[in-house]
């Protein structure tokens, strides 16, 4: 007789039943969640005021800082806040992208400046320019990020320095130079962009995983420190249609797969979905907000079945185009 006390990871039949149950639970929960969001969205649209967002913070005239605003999630977020009437303080390392953004923002642009977020002096100068134009930021979106793909053995220390300088120190710089004045005013919201790979430690992206786990942990700790006056939310997107792979660095076997991975990411959800999630989080103030079904499901699995989640590593690599 089969021992039903065996764990799902040891018995293949029990594991299949276990996984089927989890999938059914996730499907029901996802359906309930989307229905709830739809109901709330309909209700909020019926009573929203000009310059406010879904019954939350009134955004007209608010000062919003967005790093890495020249493309992808940063650009979509800057434009989304501008449409709500906010004044945008945007930075990016690519001047042509900034010029294009500034043209789209028009009179909603308060400060637009070329900045390397990894550079302490440049971030200090950016913050000083923002604080010369406004008493403090109302919202800070630490979005700037890059990708390094490859195994730990294939990743150089130079690549580690480059990635951690932007993905982690950039977030720390953004908080260091903007949060103190938010604390003085006892109001504001900080959004730090982590990732699905800040929740699930996929292989062969060791450096990226390390940076995004660090951002998630930093955000949760900072949230506890600054509560209740200043809110902090970690945003964890899944696969998003951005240029992060095209602009990133790959090592080892992944070098030959860069074009395939770039094409695969074009099938991701649009960056505007992340911007929408950030706007929604202004009202709900979650500690962690996932974006996309893949990120949402993996976040659930980390709580329900962490051992089973480890088995999906190869499937996740195939989704991102990092494996056959």
Q: Which residues are catalytic?
A: 208
Name 153's Cβ contacts closer than 8 Å, sequence gap at least 6. 252
Q: Cα–Cα distance between 113 and 91 in angstroms, integer?
A: 5
How far is 323 from 176, CA to CA, in rounded Å? 38
What phi-psi label fits residue 309: left (phi over 0), alpha (psi between -120 and 50 degrees) or beta?
alpha
Secondary structure class of 92 (helix, strand, coil)? strand
Strand, helix or coil for residue 148: strand
Name which of 161, 134, 132, 308 is nearest 249 in CA terms. Answer: 161
CA-based max dimension of the chain: 75
Q: Are 100 and 89 in contact (CB under 8 A)?
A: no
Q: Are 239 and 193 in contact (CB under 8 A)?
A: no
Q: What is the C-alpha separation between 164 and 185, in angstroms, rounded?
A: 30
Which two three-digit tokens encode residue 39? 């109901």
Contacts of 250 (CB under 8 A, 6+ apart): 148, 149, 150, 257, 258, 261
Distance CA 274, CA 172 (A): 21
Q: How far is CA 301 from the centre of its chain?
A: 19
Residue 119 neighbours by CB distance under 10 Å? 17
Is the alpha carbon torsion for 200, 202, 205, 207 positive or negative?
positive
């Amino acid at each position: 007789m089969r021992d039903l006390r065996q764990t799902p990871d040891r018995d293949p039949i029990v594991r299949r039943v276990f996984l089927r149950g989890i999938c059914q639970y996730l499907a029901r929960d996802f359906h309930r969640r989307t229905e709830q969001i739809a109901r709330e969205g309909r209700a909020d649209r019926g009573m929203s005021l000009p310059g406010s967002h879904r019954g939350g913070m009134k955004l007209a005239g608010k000062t919003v800082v967005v790093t890495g605003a020249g493309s992808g999630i940063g650009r979509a977020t800057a434009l989304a806040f501008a449409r709500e009437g906010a004044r945008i303080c945007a930075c990016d390392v690519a001047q042509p992208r900034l010029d294009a953004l500034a043209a789209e923002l028009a009179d909603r642009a308060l400060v637009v400046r070329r900045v390397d977020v990894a550079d302490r002096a440049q971030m200090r100068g950016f913050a000083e320019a923002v604080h010369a134009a406004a008493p403090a930021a109302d919202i800070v979106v630490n979005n700037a990020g890059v990708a390094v793909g490859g195994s730990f053995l294939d990743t150089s220390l130079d690549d580690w320095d480059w990635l951690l300088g932007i993905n982690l120190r950039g977030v720390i710089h953004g908080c260091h130079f903007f949060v103190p004045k938010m604390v003085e005013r006892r109001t504001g919201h900080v959004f730090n962009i982590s990732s699905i790979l800040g929740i699930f430690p996929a292989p062969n992206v060791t450096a990226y995983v390390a940076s995004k786990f660090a951002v998630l942990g930093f955000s949760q700790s900072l949230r506890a420190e600054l509560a209740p006056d200043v809110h902090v939310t970690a945003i964890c997107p899944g696969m998003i249609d951005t240029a992060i792979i095209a602009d990133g660095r790959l090592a080892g076997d992944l070098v030959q797969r860069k074009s395939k991975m770039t094409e695969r990411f074009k099938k991701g959800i649009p960056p505007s979905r992340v911007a929408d999630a950030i706007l929604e989080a202004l009202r709900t103030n979650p500690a962690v907000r996932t974006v996309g079904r893949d990120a949402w499901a993996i976040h659930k699995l980390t709580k329900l079945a962490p051992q089973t989640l480890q088995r999906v590593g190869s499937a996740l690599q195939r989704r991102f185009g990092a494996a056959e």
